[in-house]
A and B are shown apart, each in its own frame.
Chain A
Amino acid sequence: MAAVTTSAERSLNKLAIVGVLIVTMIFLAPIYWIASTAFKPRNLATTIPPTVVFQPEISPFVKLFTKRSQLRTAPTPEQYAAAPWWERLVFDGGEKVVRSGRGEVQWSGYPSRFMNSLIVAITSTILAVGMGTFTAYGFSRFKIKGEQDLLFFILSTRMLPPVVVAIPMFLMYRVVGLNDTHWGLIILYTAFNLSFSVWLMKGFMDEIPKEYEEAALVDGYTRMEAFFKIVLPEAATGIAATAVFCFITAWNEYAFALIMTNRRAQTAPPFIPSQVGSGLPDWTVIAAGTFLFLLPVAIFTFLLRNHLLRGMSFGAIRK
């Protein structure tokens, strides 16, 4: 390639870089806000203008994971000295950690809600992507009567906002006892994501030359073996991209989680804002909860980033 650049091109390049930086900053601003608030002392969380330089604290996270109550009187020096470091942080904030009769620390609802989110999002993603992959393979490789109609039918589940069916779903779930259960949410999220997963995976499957499997079939492998040995590794990129999308949808879902669950199977999204109401709103705790909540998606996306870059441009690049 010729590396001849004129000065006009170079300054244009610089301009582009500045532009990209500005856009990046705009996109990252809310995330910075959440992350910084999660490490702020409570009194700095709502200052105007916002505090940018501060001594970061871990106390919002301690508060996030524990059950607390307001202190009527300041702790005695003995109490203060006997407390572990994290409990002192709570004391400093004018609160105390709630303990059981035997002195065990009471956890807040957050860890279990976070676990619920993980269980529901991961299971529904595996189900949606798994079923989607098989279905897409079938649609891609076999002649199916009414293929176009069936695909359209599958897509039609996404033609109205899911919340529209929330009330009927709630009533039905109550009858079959799926309210406030993991499986209840898993089934819902799998159903939401399935049509998306089928369509996306079909695109990827169509891109895999069928000659690969045919060579395997001729070589004496069964269709199943050919699928697992040849097609699946080739579809890895598509599976990764689809999985990220499905995971994000399930992870971030709010409305159904709010309606269908209240305690046992509640996920983090409806739980985090519910903390605003208990006592004075402590924005640092909410920010800490939100910050931790962002991490799984960020890590998941980061791990699959190479696949994603290729996956996002599906169809655009011929191998």
Chain B
Amino acid sequence: MAHIQLKNISKTFGNHTALTGLNLDIADGEFFVLLGETGAGKTTTLRMIAGLEKPDEGQIFIDGADVADWGAAERDVALVLQQYSLYPRYTVRENLEFPLKPKIRRIEPDEIKTRVDRVARTLRIEHLLDRKTDRLSGGEMQRVSIGRAIVRKPRVFLMDEPLSALDAKLREALRTELKNIQMNLGQTFLFVTHDQIEAMSMGDKVGVLNHGRIVQTGTPYEIYNNPRDTYVASFVGSPPMNLIDGKLVNGRAVMAPLNFELPFAGGAKTSGATDGRPLVFGIRPEDVYLESGAPVEARVHDVENHGVEKILTLRIGDAMLRATVPARTDVEIEQPVRFAWDPDKVVLFDKGSGISLRHAG
């Protein structure tokens, strides 16, 4: 059990800046997901908490103690990586025993056996115990990796894209399993991923990382519905939030280069949404709907059928807008349609800084 704090962490590798002024607070027992694109600094953050990398600046606290001088072993964290975390020469059992055998731990052989067996049962890998790890499938390997982490009962679990190398079906299954494990153990998890679906579905809290900075921290709900800036808005969500340039004129959203207007109701809630200020309007595709009497006309540019729903790409002039519609909606490519949005769901961003007006206030 542990509470982790990162204060003002900076790290550069050569002339590449990995992290700048990073602050992070992960509560005890929380499933925290660090979400970001490749190269955003996620893995560096993880490695610094694990003690494999030293920050150039800033402090890391585990349960209030500054761990700057602690080695990886003393920090008592467990690490699960995307690959290479199992030893190829060992059997599954030996791999699971390995974290229990260092001299500093002094665990009795009986206790080791009990723990390994219990973990194998939890993860349903008992039948694999005597197999060499190079004879395992990807999913089995990651199960064993997770087992290796659990068996030691560490204070913190650090996971670096553990599911990214797996195929979709397995990823989904392990996602649920991992979340269940975390809830049963009640342990602090820091999970790093570039997959926003993983972040949304597993995280108690999500931190969005962009170019070495935390852009926004919050519950998945907050991140999704109230993105702090256009980066978060376009990164989280599949398809991402529609972002359209425009301005407010008399309580209506007027899209500047595109010449269409939509009603806007959120003006009262948002300070700074003055008439004429250059803005970016953000609307989630599911809040765009087709209706015969709707104010704007567009053509269907593309249709993606996802089974439960269809994702339409609408073309208005040169601009594209995504809309998620029920699967039974019958549309064809190049068909003219009329659409509107849910005026309550529109998020306004400042055109210059890209920051949401709700957050800027």
Q: Which residues of A contact B (CB under 8 A)?
A: 209, 211-212, 214-222, 225, 230, 233-234
Contact = CB atoms under 8 A, between A and B. Distances in A.
Nearest to A208: B84
B20 interface: no
Interface of B: 50-52, 71-73, 75-79, 81, 83-85, 87-89, 98-99, 102-105, 148, 152
Contacts of A233: 89
A115 B120 CA distance: 54
Secondary structure call for the A interface: helix
A222 B52 CA distance: 12
> Which of the listed residues A214, A220, A221, A234 has the most CB atoms from chain B within 10 Å of its own CB?
A220
Contacts of B88: 234
A236 B83 CA distance: 21
Given A225-B102, A233-B89, A217 B84 contact: no
B190 to A, nearest CB: 13
A212 B85 CA distance: 6
A86 to B, nearest CB: 49
The 9 A-B residue pairs with the shortest CB-CB distance in the complex, in nearest-first order: A220-B102, A211-B84, A219-B99, A220-B73, A209-B84, A217-B72, A218-B79, A218-B72, A221-B102
B99 A217 contact: no
A234 B89 CA distance: 8
Contacts of A222: 73
B87 A219 contact: no
Contact of A220 (B81, B84, B87, B104): B104
Contacts of A209: 84
> Which of the listed residues A216, A221, A233 has the most CB atoms from chain B within 10 Å of its own CB?
A221
A218 B84 contact: no
Given A214-B52, A233-B89, A219 B98 contact: yes
B149 to A, nearest CB: 9
A220 B105 CA distance: 8
6 contacts: A211-B84, A217-B52, A218-B77, A218-B78, A219-B98, A220-B73
Contact of A217 (B73, B87, B152): B73
Contact of A219 (B52, B81, B152): B152
A100 to B, nearest CB: 56
Contacts of A216: 98
B50 A218 contact: yes
Nearest to B50: A218
Contact of A215 (B85, B103, B104): B85
B228 to A, nearest CB: 33
B187 to A, nearest CB: 15
Nearest to A214: B52
A236 to B, nearest CB: 9
